[in-house]
Homo-oligomer: A and B are copies of this chain.
Amino acid sequence: MRLSQFHLATVKEVPADAEIASHRLMLRAGMIRRLASGLYTWSPLGLRVMRKVERIVREEMDRAGAIELLMPTIQPRELWEESGRWAKFGPQLLKIRDRKEQEFCYAPTAEEVITDYARNELKSYKQLPVNFYQIQTKFRDEIRPRFGVMRAREFLMKDAYSFHLGQESLAETYAAMYQAYVRIFTRLGLSFRAVQADTGAIGGNASHEFQVLADSGEDAIAFSDGSDYAANIEKAEALAPSAGRPAPAASLQRVDTPTQKTIADVAAFLKVQPRQCVKTLLVRGVDGLVALCLRGDHELNEVKAGKLAELPGEMVLAGEEEIRAACGARPGFIGPIDLPDSIPVIVDRDAAVLADFVCGGNVDGVHCTGANWERDARISRIADLRNVVEGDPSPDGHGTLHLARGIEVGHVFQLGPKYAEALGATVIDEGGKAQVMSMGCYGIGVTRIVAAAIEQRHDEAGIIWPEAMAPWRVAVCVINPKNASAAVNEAAEELYQALLQRGIETVLDDRGLRPGNMFADMELIGIPHRVVVSERGLAAGTLEYRGREDSESRTLSRDELIELLEMA
C-alpha cells in the first residue's frame, strides 16, 4: 500500500473521556471514530488490524474442524422466550419492534438460534459431534459503554457452538477448542493465560477464560509458579491454612472506638495488624440475615459467597436499617460476638484459625479485643470466602500463587444440556431413542482483542503491534520524496516492491511529511519495522532500520534487512 493512496488520519487530541491507553491510542492512530455512545466506525487502518485477527481466528477454527455459518443479527422473541433469556438477559438485550409490532432482539449471543438450527438439522447421533461457528456482529446495550471498543455496544464476536451425545464427546471438543484458542492467541503474538473461570449465570460444568495480560485489565487472575494452574480470582480457591487455631491467651475486652469504623482505623487505633482483626459483613440470606467473617486483611469473594447454600444464589449486602434492627449497631461495629442465634455465622478458613482477635462489639463505637472462636463467638460453618492473595499456596498443591491482571478475550464453556433441553433439541441415539444433546460454547471477542493487544503492548509513542496484528509489518519511509533525487525515490520503490514480492506486507510512506512527523505516525500506528531510504544511505549502499521497540536506529545492508524481516 502507498500511504498517499490510503486514508491515514492520526490526530493529536483525544477526548477526555478516553480513559485507557487503548482507547486513546486507537483514536490518536485514527483506527476508530465514535459515532455514538458505544458505537464506533472502524477506519481503514483499524479494519486492517481487525481483519487480521478475524482471519487467524477463522483459520484456527477451520483447522479444529469447526464449520462456519452465519446467523441473523435480528432474532425473534419467541425463541428467546423458549430459553427464558428474553426476560433473564436484562436491559443489555436490545429489544426491537418491527413494523408489524413483532418483537425481536439484536443478538448478544446466539445459543437460541443455533439450538433451533440444530434441532431442525440434526436428527441422528451419526451427525454428532458437530461444531458450528460464526463471526458476526453482536450488540449489548451496556448501561455505561466505555473504554472505546473494549466495552462497546456493537462489536464483532466469533461464537461457536458444539453439539454432542455424552460428556466424553463434549469434553473432547472442549479440549480441541481450548487448544485452538491457545494457537490463536499464540499466533496473534499476545501474552495470555487460560484460566479456570466461574461458570456464572450461563451455567454448565467447565469453563476457561482466555485472558490477555495487561496491568489495566478488569479481571484479576491467579496463577501458580509451580504448575500450570491459573484461575480467575473469582474462582481461585484459598486453601485452608495448614496450621491450626492457637489456644486462647487473652480475655475478651470491650474498648471504645468512637470514630474507628474501618479495619484500618481500628487496627491503627488499637496498634494491631489488620490480619489480627475479623471483619463481619451481614448479607441477605435465604431466610433472614447471614454473617460472613473474614480476616481484616482479606477481601470477600462475592462469587464464592453467592454460592453458599445459605444465600439465595447471589450476594447482596444488608442495608444499614436491617443491620441495626438485627444486631443493634451500625455497619463498622458488627462482630460475631453475641449475634442473635437466628443469624448463621459463616467464617472464612483463614479467619477461623485466628485467636485473640479484634472484632466489632455490636454496639456503636465499641470493638472487642482478645476475642476467640467457640469461647466468645459461634461458628456455624467454615468456608472459603476470600479472594486469594499473592503468596497463597496454589490450590493444586504445586507452587505459590501470583496475581496478574487480564482482559478477557475468549471464553470456552461446557454448557451441557441447558439450551438443548429448553428447546427440545434431541437426536436419535444408537438404540433408536431420542436424547437431548449436550452443548459447548466458545466465544472470542474479535474487536476486543484489538484493544487488549494495545493495552498489553504500547509505550508513550504509541502502539507496539505484534507482527501478526500490525496493519503492515514494514514501513518504507522516503525522506522528502518531492525534493529527493530520482535515485532515492526509485530505490524506495524498488525496495517496496521487493518486500511485497517476498510476501512481506509493506507500506510505502510517500506522503512527503517531514521526517519527524512521518516517524511519529509510524510509531503511533505501531508498525514493527521501519526502513528509511535517504540520499546518504543510498550513497553508502545502506538502509537505516529501526524496530518499533529498539531504542535507536541501525544501519543495515539490503540483504541484512531482508533476512531480518524474513526471520521476524
Contacts and interface: CB of A to CB of B under 8 A. Distances in A.
Given A39-B74, A42-B70, A65 B5 contact: yes
A99 B67 contact: no
A339 interface: no
A271 interface: no
A35 B70 contact: no
Interface residues of A, number: 52
A377 B38 CA distance: 66
A33 interface: yes
Nearest to A96: B96
Given A41-B113, A121-B9, A143 B99 contact: yes
Given A94-B96, A121-B9, A137-B137, A44 B72 contact: no
Contact of A154 (B73, B132, B143, B153): B73
A51 to B, nearest CB: 8
Contacts of A99: 91-92, 94, 141, 143
A102 B35 CA distance: 14
A309 to B, nearest CB: 34
Nearest to A155: B72
B65 A35 contact: no
Contacts of A357: none
B36 A76 contact: yes
A43 B43 CA distance: 30
A130 interface: yes
A139 interface: yes
A170 to B, nearest CB: 18
A269 interface: no
A69 to B, nearest CB: 5
A495 to B, nearest CB: 22
A7 interface: yes
A98 B93 CA distance: 9
Contacts of A130: 7
Given A35-B116, A121-B9, A154 B67 contact: no
Given A91-B99, A121-B9, A113 B69 contact: no
A50 interface: yes
A69 B68 CA distance: 23
Nearest to A6: B67
A482 to B, nearest CB: 13
B41 A68 contact: no
A42 B134 CA distance: 10
A33 B98 contact: no
A47 B35 contact: no
Contact of A127 (B7, B42, B137): B7
Residue picked from A33, A68, A99, most chain B C-beta under 10 Å: A99
B72 A121 contact: no
A141 to B, nearest CB: 5
Nearest to A42: B70
B74 A154 contact: yes
A75 interface: yes
Nearest to A130: B7
Contacts of A73: 73, 137, 154
Contact of A44 (B36, B41, B68): B68
Interface of A: 5-7, 9, 33, 35-37, 39-44, 46-47, 50, 65, 67-76, 79, 91-92, 94, 96, 98-99, 102, 104, 106, 113, 116-117, 120-121, 127, 130, 132, 137, 139, 141, 143, 153-154
5 contacts: A35-B76, A44-B67, A46-B69, A47-B68, A74-B154
